[in-house]
């Protein structure tokens, strides 16, 4: 039986980064198993295809607004959905074009196809083959989680996998969940021509974000004809005459050709047989881990990326992979630090945030000073016809330290990194707010919010 020093399970962002970093050192015999596609969820069914679909949806929307700018388009704008998906698939293929070569080049063995499953703490089955591993890194990602609604499974639904490779553009689509994934898909399908209804159990759009941010998107969706039903409990789903009918408490019913479930994710553990390795899972199916991402019960196992069940972002997966591979390479435990993690929802306008919301800061007993400005007062936004949105800064009232930033607007996913940089250095709102920002830029609104939030503001 082959024995590896380090065996990495999963070839997504986290697993690839671990296998490459550790393999590159040439000090260990390393292997990686991927049972579907290298690049994982992000490249194949997540970040890359959704952003490529959004690029087409945004362009279609801009063309719809051309007359506002004095540009008349002769004839109708036509959406050629198969052509859009051809471009999306080309971009996805380009993002994974290197395949397993970079790994095999540095001596990492890649098992493409088999599902890795523990048979004992140090033994893994790879379908027919068995291997031994001294250390194991679990980077198996997540599966879409569907809520336990009667009739849902029988009626049939899409997850992000089907939605990023759809057989056709649905004429009507109901989306369960108004989190980042639901919101991005809602705008993609609506702008390409589907009639979209979003159903959210909580009382607002983008529940994890500051309510001020969610309110901007709710307004934008209303303008675009995307129906959003919040505080809605779907009691049952049925399929009738080819349509999915969602019965909502209170008597309302939504009917659509396609139902897309975007209600959260659960760590992909079931094929892994974590019990055989002695990996303890909590009541939500997440591995119980130390601050260094090591299993508390199976000390030769580390977990990186979405499989941890926390902060499901590619940039966090890469960060965690760096932390775990650094620990394996050096033999010294490192502690995770999630104080400054930016989050972006790539709808239009973009929603970006870092650190705490105003409410979270107050709930933690902090006295805060808030800076908040609308892009409606920004000249660059007016020039570009993109005035919707705001910049909000949460700072400690006494020290002025920036604790959080929330930006909704064009390019918010880029602008948030000003706040990221300030927070990384534990900087003060006043210092950054006094710095000269170029005119005319949207960043001037971020500067204004920083000034307002500064401890020495009047």
Ligand X SMILES: Cc1cc2nc3c(=O)[nH]c(=O)nc-3n(C[C@H](O)[C@H](O)[C@H](O)COP(=O)(O)OP(=O)(O)OC[C@H]3O[C@@H](n4cnc5c(N)ncnc54)[C@H](O)[C@@H]3O)c2cc1C
Residues making contact with ligand X (CB under 6 A): 9-15, 33-36, 40-42, 46-47, 50, 115-116, 139-141, 160, 181, 268, 271-272, 305-307, 312-315, 317, 346
Nearest Cα to Cα of residue 181 among 79, 77, 47, 62: 47
Closer residue to ligand X in complex, CB, 325/378: 325
Q: Considering beta carbons, is residue 301 or 450 the nearer one to ligand X? A: 301
Specify the pairing of strand 402-409 against strand 350-355.
antiparallel
CA–CA separation, 371 and 406 (whole Å): 10
Give min distance, CB of 291 to ligand X, in A.
18
CB of 272 to ligand X, least distance (A): 5
108 burial type by CB count under 10 A (0-12 exposed, 13-18 middle, 19+ buried) = buried
Mark out the alpha helices in 47-158 (DSSP H runs).
47-64, 81-95, 101-105, 152-155
Report the nearest approach of ligand X to the CB of residue 125 (Å): 10
- What is the number of alpha carbons within 13 Å of residue 177 lying toward its C-beta? 21
The smaller minimum CB distance to ligand X, of residues 351 and 453, is found at: 351
The Cα 88–Cα 214 span in angstroms is 28
* Spatial separation of the C-alpha atoms in residues 1 and 129, rounded to whole Å: 9
Nearer to ligand X, 136 or 403 (CB): 136
Pick from 266, 265, 262: which is nearest to 196 by CA? 262
Minimum CB separation from ligand X for residue 433, in Å?
A: 28
- Both tokens of 196, joined, read 């979209």
Question: What is the nearest approach in angstroms of ligand X to the Cβ of residue 370?
Answer: 27
Q: Report DSSP state, residue 187.
A: H
Provide the pairing of β-strand 343-345 with 234-240: unpaired
Q: Which is nearer to ligand X, 127 or 382 (CB)?
A: 127
Closer to ligand X at the Cβ: 35 or 372? 35
Residue 449 Cβ, how far from ligand X at the closest point, in Å? 24
Q: 228 vs 303, which CB is nearer to ligand X?
A: 303
CB of 113 to ligand X, least distance (A): 9
CA distance 202 to 230: 6
Rounded (5°) CA angle 346-16-40: 45
């Amino acid at each position: 039986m082959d024995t590896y020093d380090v065996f990495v399970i999963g070839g997504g962002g986290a697993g690839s980064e671990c296998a490459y970093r550790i393999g590159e050192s040439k000090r260990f015999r390393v292997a990686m198993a991927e049972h579907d596609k290298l690049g994982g969820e992000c490249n194949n069914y997540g970040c890359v295809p959704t952003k490529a679909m959004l690029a087409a949806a945004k362009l279609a929307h801009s063309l719809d607004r051309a007359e506002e700018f004095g540009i008349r388009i002769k004839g109708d704008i036509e959406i050629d959905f198969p052509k859009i998906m051809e471009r999306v698939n080309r971009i996805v293929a380009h993002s994974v074009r290197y395949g397993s070569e970079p790994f095999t080049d540095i001596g990492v063995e890649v098992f493409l196809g088999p599902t890795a499953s523990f048979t004992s703490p140090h033994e893994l089955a790879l379908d027919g083959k068995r291997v031994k591993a001294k250390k194991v890194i679990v980077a198996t990602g997540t599966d879409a989680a569907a809520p336990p609604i009667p009739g849902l499974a029988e009626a049939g639904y899409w997850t992000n996998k089907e939605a990023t490779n759809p057989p056709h553009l649905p004429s009507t689509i109901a989306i369960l969940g108004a989190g980042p994934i639901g919101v991005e898909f809602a705008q993609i399908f609506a702008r390409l021509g589907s009639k979209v209804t979003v159903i959210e159990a909580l009382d607002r759009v983008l529940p994890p974000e500051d309510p001020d941010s969610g309110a901007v998107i709710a307004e934008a969706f209303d303008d675009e004809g995307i129906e959003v039903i919040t505080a809605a409990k779907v009691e049952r789903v049925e399929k009738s005459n080819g349509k999915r009918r969602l019965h909502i408490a209170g008597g309302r019913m939504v009917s659509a050709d396609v139902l897309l479930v975007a209600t959260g994710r659960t760590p992909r553990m079931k094929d892994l047989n974590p019990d055989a390795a002695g990996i303890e899972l909590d009541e939500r199916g997440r591995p119980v881990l130390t601050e260094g991402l090591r299993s508390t019960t199976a000390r030769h196992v580390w977990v990186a990326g979405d499989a941890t069940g926390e902060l499901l972002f590619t940039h966090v997966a890469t960060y965690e992979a760096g932390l775990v591979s650094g620990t394996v390479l050096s033999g010294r435990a490192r502690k995770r630090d999630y104080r400054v993690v930016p989050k972006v929802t790539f709808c239009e306008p973009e929603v970006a945030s870092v650190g705490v919301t105003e409410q979270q800061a107050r709930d933690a007993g902090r006295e805060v000073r808030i800076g908040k400005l609308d892009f409606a007062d920004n000249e660059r936004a007016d020039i570009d016809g993109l005035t919707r949105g705001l910049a909000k800064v949460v700072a400690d009232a006494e020290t002025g330290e920036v604790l959080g930033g929330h930006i909704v607007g064009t390019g918010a996913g880029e602008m948030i990194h000003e706040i990221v940089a300030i927070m990384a250095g534990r900087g003060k709102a006043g210092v950054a707010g006094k710095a000269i920002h170029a005119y005319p830029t949207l960043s001037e609104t971020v500067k204004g919010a920083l000034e307002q939030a500064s401890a020495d503001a009047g």
